[in-house]
C-alpha cells in the first residue's frame, strides 16, 4: 500500500513524456527519414480541339529536400488510363526532359539527374493528355462540345517517399490552377475565381481562367464548354444555368425553384453550407455519357431543355446535388468497404423525392426498391453488402447498392429518422474530408437512438435476403 502513490506518479509521467516527445516531433521541421516539402505548386488544363479532342494537363512543383538523406527522385500519382484516357506523358526536372517509368499501379517514377541534397530545391514538371474514356463509374469527358474533369485522380499528385519515417507530398496551403479554352467558352472550376485573361494573339486566341485553390478546399475539378447562360433566383438561392441551347422562357426560373427547394431540404437534413457557397450551377453534360457530379453543381442531360421530360431532370438534379452535402464532405472507404456508405447519396435523393411528392411517396419508393432487389436476385447470386469491392462486376455492385438503400430505410425505421439524420450530421462534421464506414454510422446512430443496432447491421450487411419483418411492413 505505501508504494501505490509512487506507482501512480510513474504511470502519470509516462503519457506526459510521450506527449512531450510527440509535440517535439510535430514541431520538428526535418523528417526523421527521406522527405521533401512542396514550396510551390501550379496546375493547368488546356482544351485541345480537333478530330480527337483532348485536355492537356500540366503540373509544376518546386520541392525542397527537407529530409535526412539525398533524394534520387520522386513518385507521382497519375490518372487511371481506363477512366481518363491518358496518353503522351512527359516529365521534366529543372527544365530538362527525363525518362520516367511506372513505379507501380497508378504512379510514375521521375528520377533526378543527380541526387537532390539536403536543403536543395528543384522544379519537377509532368504533363499528359486526357481523351476521356469514362465508364459507368465516372471519369474525364472530352468532346467537341466541351469537357469535364471530375474531382479525383485526373490531376497528378506528388506521393510521399517510401519509408517508415518518410514525409512529403502535402500541397501548399494555397496554389493556383488555370484553365485555357477556346474563345467564347465558359469554365466552372474548384477554387475562387481570380479572373479571365482574353488571349487575342493570332496564334493563341481564347480565354484563360485562373482559380485560387486551397489545400482544405474541394479536390480540383473543371467543366468547360460553349454554353448559353441563364441566371435565376429563388428563396435567396442563386442558380446559374449553362446549356447548349438557350433555355425557353420560364424554364430557368422553374429550375431555380427546384434547385433551391432541393438545397433547402439538404441543408436541413445534412447541415447547411457556408454562407459564401449560396450559389449553385446546373450545367448540361458536354458528353453523351452521364457526367460525374462536381461540388455545388448538377451536371444534367438535355432533359432540362425539354419541359415534356422535366421529371427526369428533377431526379437527376436531386441526385447530383446530394453529392455536395454527402460524398464531397466525406467519402466511403473505396478501397476496402465502399458499401453501404456509397449509397448515402442515393438514400438522400429518395428522401428529397419523397419530400417533393408527398406523404405516400416514401412507401412507393421502398416498394420499388424491394421489387428491384427481387428482380436482381432472380438473375444472380446475392453478394454480402460489406464484401462488395469496386473491382466486382457492375451487376454485383448495383445489386448490393439496392440492398444498401433498403438497409438505410430499415435503419431509419429502427433508430428514428431524426436520430439517424443527427447521426449523419455528426459524422459529416467529425470526418470532414475523411472516410466513413458502416461501423461509424452504427456507433453514431446508437448514440442518438439509445438502441443496440448491431443485430440490424449484421442482418442486412452480411446475411442474405431482406428480413421478413421489413418486407411485410412494406
Q: Which of 215, 210, 126 is nearest to 171 (CA)?
A: 215
Tell me which residue has cell 449553385. Answer: 280
- Whether residue 197 is contained in a domain is answered as yes
CATH number of the domain that residue 313 is part of: 1.10.390.10
Locate 138 and state its grid cell.
Answer: 465516372
Q: Identify which has the larger pLDDT, 275 or 389.
A: 389
Give the burial class of 278: count Cβ atoms within 10 A of its Cβ; 0-12 exposed, 13-18 middle, 19 or more buried: middle
Cis omega (within 30 of 0) for bond into 340: yes
* End-to-end Cα distance, the chain: 64
Mean pLDDT of the chain: 88
Q: What is the pLDDT of residue 273?
A: 84
Say if residue 188 is in the same domain as residue 266: no
Is 32 a member of any domain? Answer: no
Residue 135 maps to a domain: yes
Q: State phi, psi for 49 to the nearest 5 degrees.
A: -70, 165
Q: State which of 170, 195, 224 marks the end of a domain.
A: 224
pLDDT at 275: 66
Task: Give me 421's grid cell.
Answer: 439524420
> Which of 160, 176, 209, 173 lies closest to 59 in space, CA to CA?
176
5 in a domain, yes or no?
Answer: no
Which residue would you say has higher pLDDT here, 458 or 162? 458
Could you tell me how many residues make up the chain? 474
Burial of 347 (0-12, 13-18, 19+ CB in 10 A): buried
| CATH number assigned to the domain comprising residue 131 | 2.60.40.1730
The 10s digit of each residue's pLDDT in 104-128 is 468 899 999 899 999 999 999 999 9
Domain boundary among 262, 291, 325: 325
Domain that holds residue 234: 228-325
Residue holding cell 529536400? 65
Which residues make beta-bridge pairs with 219?
Answer: none
Indicate the number of domains in the chain: 3
By three-state DSSP, how is residue 9 classified? helix
**What average pLDDT score do residues 144-156 get?**
92
Same domain for 169 and 58? yes
Answer yes or no: do 394 and 412 share one domain. yes
Q: Are 319 and 354 within one domain?
A: no
Question: Does 273 lie in the same domain as 363?
Answer: no
Residue 21: pLDDT band with limits 50, 70, 90: very low
Residues 113 and 252 in one domain: no
Q: What is the DSSP letter of 301?
A: -
55 & 142 share domain: yes
Secondary structure element (H or E) that encloses residue 371, with its range: helix 361-379
Closest CA relative to residue 234, chosen from 251, 258, 270: 258
Mean per-residue pLDDT, 259-276: 89
Residue 373 lies in a domain: yes
Angle, helix 394-415 to helix 344-357, in steps of 10 degrees: 60
pLDDT in tens, 179-206: 999 999 999 999 999 999 998 777 778 9
3-state secondary structure of 141: strand
Q: How far is CA 378 from CA 53, 373, 375, 392, 441, in A?
A: 43, 9, 5, 19, 30
CA dihedral (17, 22, 27, 28) positive or negative: positive
- Of 224, 254, 281, which closes a domain? 224
Mark whether 84 and 170 lie in a shared domain: yes
Residue 20 is predicted with a pLDDT of 40
Q: Are residues 272 and 214 in the same domain?
A: no
Q: Are residues 168 and 117 in the same domain?
A: yes
Q: What is the pLDDT of residue 29?
A: 52
Q: Are residues 220 and 237 in the same domain?
A: no
**Is residue 165 assigned to a domain?**
yes
Alpha-carbon distance of 66 to 81, in angstroms, equals 33
State the Cα–Cα distance between residues 290 and 424, nearest whole angstrom.
28
Residue 189, strand partner residues: 222
Residue 30 has pLDDT above 70, yes or no: no
Q: In the chain, what's the furthest Cα-to-Cα distance?
A: 91
**If you ran DSSP here, which 8-state letter would residue 290 be given?**
P
Rounded CA-CA distance 127/335 in Å is 27
Bigger pLDDT: 400 vs 83? 400
Note whether residue 19 is domain-resident.
no
77 and 203 co-located in one domain: yes
pTM of the model: 0.85
Tens of pLDDT, residue by residue over 300-329, are: 988 887 766 677 788 889 999 999 999 999
Query: Does residue 83 belong to any structural domain of this protein?
Result: yes
Amino acid at each position: 500500500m505505501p508504494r501505490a502513490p509512487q506507482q501512480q506518479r510513474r504511470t502519470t509521467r509516462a503519457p506526459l513524456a510521450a506527449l512531450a516527445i510527440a509535440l517535439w516531433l510535430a514541431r520538428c521541421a526535418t523528417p526523421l527519414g527521406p522527405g521533401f516539402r512542396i514550396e510551390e505548386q501550379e496546375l493547368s488544363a488546356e482544351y485541345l480541339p480537333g478530330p480527337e479532342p483532348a485536355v492537356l494537363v500540366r503540373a509544376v512543383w518546386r520541392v525542397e529536400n527537407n529530409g535526412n538523406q539525398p533524394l534520387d527522385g520522386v513518385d507521382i500519382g497519375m490518372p487511371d488510363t481506363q477512366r481518363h484516357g491518358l496518353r503522351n506523358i512527359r516529365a521534366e526536372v529543372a527544365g530538362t526532359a527525363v525518362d520516367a517509368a511506372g513505379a507501380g499501379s497508378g504512379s510514375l517514377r521521375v528520377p533526378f539527374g543527380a541526387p537532390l541534397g539536403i536543403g536543395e530545391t528543384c522544379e519537377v514538371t509532368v504533363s499528359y493528355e486526357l481523351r476521356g474514356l469514362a465508364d459507368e463509374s465516372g471519369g474525364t469527358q472530352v468532346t467537341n462540345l466541351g469537357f469535364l474533369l471530375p474531382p479525383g485522380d485526373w490531376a497528378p499528385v506528388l506521393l510521399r517517399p517510401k519509408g517508415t519515417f518518410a514525409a512529403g507530398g502535402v500541397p501548399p496551403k494555397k496554389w493556383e490552377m488555370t484553365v485555357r479554352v477556346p474563345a467564347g467558352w465558359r469554365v466552372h472550376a474548384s477554387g475562387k475565381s481570380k479572373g479571365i485573361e482574353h488571349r487575342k494573339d493570332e496564334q493563341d486566341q481564347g480565354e484563360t481562367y485562373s482559380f485560387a485553390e486551397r489545400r482544405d478546399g474541394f479536390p480540383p475539378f473543371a467543366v468547360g464548354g460553349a454554353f448559353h447562360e441563364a441566371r435565376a433566383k429563388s428563396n435567396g438561392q442563386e442558380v446559374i444555368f449553362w446549356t447548349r441551347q438557350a433555355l425557353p422562357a420560364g424554364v430557368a426560373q422553374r429550375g431555380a425553384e427546384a434547385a433551391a427547394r432541393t438545397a433547402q431540404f439538404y441543408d436541413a437534413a445534412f447541415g447547411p453550407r457556408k454562407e459564401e457557397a449560396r450559389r449553385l450551377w446546373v450545367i448540361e453534360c458536354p458528353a453523351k455519357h452521364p457526367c460525374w457530379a462536381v461540388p455545388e453543381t448538377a451536371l444534367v442531360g438535355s432533359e432540362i431543355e425539354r419541359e415534356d421530360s422535366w421529371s427526369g431532370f428533377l431526379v437527376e438534379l436531386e441526385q447530383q446535388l446530394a453529392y455536395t452535402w454527402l460524398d464531397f464532405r466525406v467519402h466511403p472507404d473505396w478501397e476496402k468497404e465502399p458499401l453501404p456508405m456509397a449509397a448515402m447519396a442515393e438514400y438522400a435523393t429518395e428522401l428529397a423525392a419523397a419530400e417533393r411528392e408527398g406523404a405516400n411517396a416514401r412507401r412507393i419508393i421502398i416498394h420499388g426498391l424491394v421489387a428491384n432487389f427481387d428482380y436482381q436476385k432472380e438473375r444472380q447470386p446475392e453478394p454480402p453488402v460489406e464484401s462488395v469491392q469496386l473491382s466486382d462486376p457492375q451487376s454485383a455492385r448495383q445489386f448490393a447498392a439496392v440492398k444498401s438503400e433498403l438497409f438505410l430505410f430499415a435503419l431509419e425505421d429502427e433508430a428514428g429518422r431524426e436520430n439517424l439524420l443527427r447521426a449523419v450530421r455528426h459524422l459529416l462534421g467529425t470526418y470532414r474530408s475523411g472516410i466513413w464506414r458502416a461501423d461509424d454510422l452504427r456507433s453514431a446512430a446508437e448514440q442518438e437512438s439509445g438502441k443496440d443496432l448491431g443485430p440490424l447491421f449484421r442482418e442486412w450487411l452480411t446475411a442474405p435476403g431482406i428480413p421478413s419483418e421489413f418486407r411485410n411492413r412494406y
